[in-house]
Amino acid sequence: MSTKVVVAMSGGVDSSVAAALLQRQGYEVIGMMMRLWSEPGRESHNRCCTPESMGIARQVAGQLGIPFYAVNAQESFRSTVVEYFLEGYASGVTPNPCLACNRHIRWEFLLERALAQGAEFMATGHYVRLQREPGQPERLFEAVDQAKDQSYVLSVLRPDQLRHALFPLGDLTKPEVRAIAAELNLPAATSKESQDLCFLGGEDYRAFLQRNAPQLGAPGPIQNRAGEVLGEHSGLIHYTIGQRKGLGIAAPEPFYVLEKDQAQNALIVGNQDELGDRELSAGQMNWTQGAAPSEPFAADVKIRYKATKAPAQISPLEGDRVHIRFDDPQRGFTPGQAAVIYREGEVLGGGLIEAAPPKAARSQVQLAEALA
C-alpha cells in the first residue's frame, strides 16, 4: 500500500506541480484546499481561494485523477490571522500575517485534517528543503532557488509538524517548476504570481486598515529622539521603519522613520546614523529542533523576508527569548517581523523582533557571556 499524502492546493503552479511530482513518486495523493476569510462584500478578492483558483485546483486534481476536498477555514483564519494583523498594528508593530498563517492555519488547522484523512504527510508548494536521517529529527534548509526561498515564513514549524511535512519543490528552480507544469499541460502552468497578503486581494494594506481599524489612521506629531516636534504625520499606519520619502519634513539631511510610538501616536524620526543598530531582542522563539540552545552561539540572522542574512552572536534568554548582536550595524529592525536564525543554510529557529532590548535582557546577556 502506498503512503498517503495530502497536498495543500491553491490553484497555483507550485502546489499543482507538488501534487504531480508526489504522484509520480508513487504516493497516494489527495488534494485539499482551504476556503479562507474574505472581507464582507469583497469575497472574490482573496487571492488564495477565489472561485477561479478553486476551479483550477479542481481541474488539476481531475487531470491527475486524485480526490479533491475544499475545507472551510474562514472563521479560524479570521480569528488567528486577520485579528493578528489588526491587533499588531493597533499595538504599534508591523505584523507578518504569513507567519501566523503557517503556524496556525496551514500547519495546525489543515495538518490536523490531513492526518484525520489517514495521511502520513502533508505537502505544500513552498520552496524549502527538508533533510531526513534515520533516528534524527527533521532538519529544515533554505531552497536551492534563493530567489524563491520561503524558509523565513516556515521558521515557525515545530519538530512534530516537520515530521509530517513534504516539500517537493525545494531542489527545483521556479523556471524548472513551470517547465514541469507545461510538460504535464497543467492549467496552472502560466498562472500569475502574487506577493500580496491573500486577504487584501491586491489592495494596499492601509486601505484595509482604515476600513477595519479607523482609529489607527489618526494624525499625530513627528518627533526626534529628544521629543522635539518636527511636523505632523497622517496616521502611523502610513509609515514603515526605515522609510525616508513622504515624511514632509524640510531639513538639510534626510530623516528616516526610527520607530512608531503607539501610546503617544507619535512617529519618531532621525538621521541615517540613528537608523542603524547592532542589537535586538526577539521573543516567542520557535526552535525547529525543539530544545532551545543553552549557550551563546554564532549564526546568521535574517530580519525581513527579503533581507540578506548577516552574521551575529545569539544569546538565549529566559522565557523563549534571545538577544542578538550583529557583527556589523543593521538597518531597519521592525518590531513584529521575524528574526530567523540560520547556520550553513539550515533554519535553526525564529522569533518576533521586540521593540528594544530591555536593560534586564542586556544584563542577562552580559552574565551569560561572562560565564561562557
353, pLDDT greater than 70: yes
Q: Is 48 a catalytic residue?
A: no
What pLDDT does 194 receive? 61
Superfamily (CATH H level) for 276-371: Translation factors (2.40.30.10)
Q: Which of the four pLDDT bands, split at 50, 70 and 90, describes residue 91? A: confident
Q: Where are the alpha helices (DSSP H) in 93-246?
A: 97-100, 111-116, 159-162, 174-183, 205-212
Higher pLDDT, 360 or 228: 228
Per-residue pLDDT reduced to its tens digit, 233-280? 999 888 888 899 889 898 888 999 998 888 899 999 999 888 878 999
Active site residue 98: no
Axis-axis angle for helices 205-212, 83-90 (nearest 10): 90
- Candidate list 48, 49, 98, 101, residue with the active-site label: 101
137, 349 Cβ separation under 8 angstroms? no
Q: For domain 4-200, give the CATH number.
A: 3.40.50.620
- The answer to which of 29-38, 113-122, 258-267, 280-289 has the lowest mean pLDDT is 258-267
Strand segments (E) across 208-275: 220-223, 229-233, 256-261, 266-270
Q: Report the pLDDT value the prediction gives residue 367, as an integer from 0 to 100.
A: 46
Q: Which member of 48, 49, 98, 198 is catalytic?
A: 198
pLDDT of res. 359: 39
- Is it the case that residue 225 has pLDDT exceeding 60? yes
**Is the CA virtual torsion 26, 27, 30, 35 positive or negative?**
negative
User: Residues near 65 by Cβ (< 8 Å), separated by ≥ 6?
Assistant: none
Helices (H), 28-123: 51-64, 74-77, 83-90, 97-100, 111-116
Is pLDDT above 80 for 77? yes
Task: Please name the amino acid found at residue 245.
Answer: K
Q: Which three cell numbers stand for residue 318?
A: 529566559
Domain ranges of the chain: 4-200, 218-270, 276-371
The whole-chain average pLDDT of the chain stands at 90
CATH tag for 218-270 (out of 2.30.30.280, 3.40.50.300, 3.80.30.20, 3.30.70.890): 2.30.30.280
Q: Could you tell me which residue, 8 or 208, shows the higher pLDDT?
A: 8
Per cent of the chain over pLDDT 70 is 92
Looking up cell 492546493 gives: 9
pLDDT over 50 at 203, yes or no: yes
Query: pLDDT digits over 146-201, tens only?
Result: 999 999 999 999 999 999 999 999 999 999 999 999 999 998 877 777 656 788 87
